[in-house]
Amino acid sequence: MERYKNQSDIFTPIDIPIHIIGIGGIGSWTAFILAKMGCQDINLYDFDEVEDHNIASQIYKEDQIGLSKQQSLQQNIKDFSGINCSLFSIEQEINIRRGIVIIAVDSMEERIKLYNIFKDKDVFIIDGRMGGLQLEIYNSPASQYNETLVDPNNVEPDACTAKSICFNCAIIGGLIANFVRQYLQGTLPCHQVTFGFNDLMLLKK
């Protein structure tokens, strides 16, 4: 397709379902970038409404405050890419059977719940975690995802004024989208990435 000719030697969209659970700072950017890459089967799972503090770091507009995040992001992605994302309630996560699951939720408790949903399913998980000026991404088959989880009691919460900033959200979204590309091409090089903006230190394994 003419629209994607400048990336055709880098990535050709493949028809595989991509499920994004949580469409805030990580999930909204990831969905936006994947759509701009030409991914056609993007499925969004969330229940929140757009709030004023979301405007600074997420893919939402000021006039969408108070509206559904799902419907707002669906419209924004349609406007900017022509891609029409599908919308699902959080309860419908249990119906996911195949494809890529991008986990972009806020808590370890939620990640543990999702592991128990997906551990016996044929899905590949990409989990983005972010706090202030640091990001982490974990890539694994669903059956091995529990190896990335920790006791929720050992997770220190970020101060409410140091949770996210737009450049971190944009970069983690771009990295996750690239991992989708590499997974689909069979060239995914690592299972974990950690990056800090203060020291510009990238660690991978």
- The CATH T-level fold of domain 14-204 is Rossmann fold (3.40.50)
Sign of CA dihedral 177, 179, 183, 186: positive
Q: What are phi and psi of 141, to 5 degrees?
A: -60, 155
Nearest CA to 163 out of 107, 115, 202, 102 is that of: 107
Q: List per-residue pLDDT tens for the chain, 205 residues long.
A: 799 999 999 999 888 999 999 999 999 999 999 999 999 999 999 999 999 999 999 999 999 999 999 999 999 999 999 999 999 999 999 999 999 999 999 999 999 999 999 999 999 999 999 988 999 999 999 999 999 999 988 877 765 556 789 999 999 999 999 999 999 999 998 899 999 999 998 888 8
Q: What is the pLDDT of residue 158?
A: 66
Q: What is the pLDDT of residue 189?
A: 86
CB-CB contact of 72 with 50 (8 Å): yes
Sign of CA dihedral 83, 49, 127, 21: negative
CB-CB contact of 152 with 108 (8 Å): yes
Nearest CA to 151 out of 112, 125, 114, 105 is that of: 112
Domain boundaries, the chain: 14-204
- C-alpha 163/C-alpha 178 separation (Å) is 23
Nearest CA to 19 out of 131, 101, 138, 109 is that of: 101
Q: Report the alpha-carbon angle 84-75-160, nearest 5.
A: 120
pTM across the whole model = 0.96
Cα–Cα distances in Å, from 144 out to 71, 138, 191? 33, 11, 11
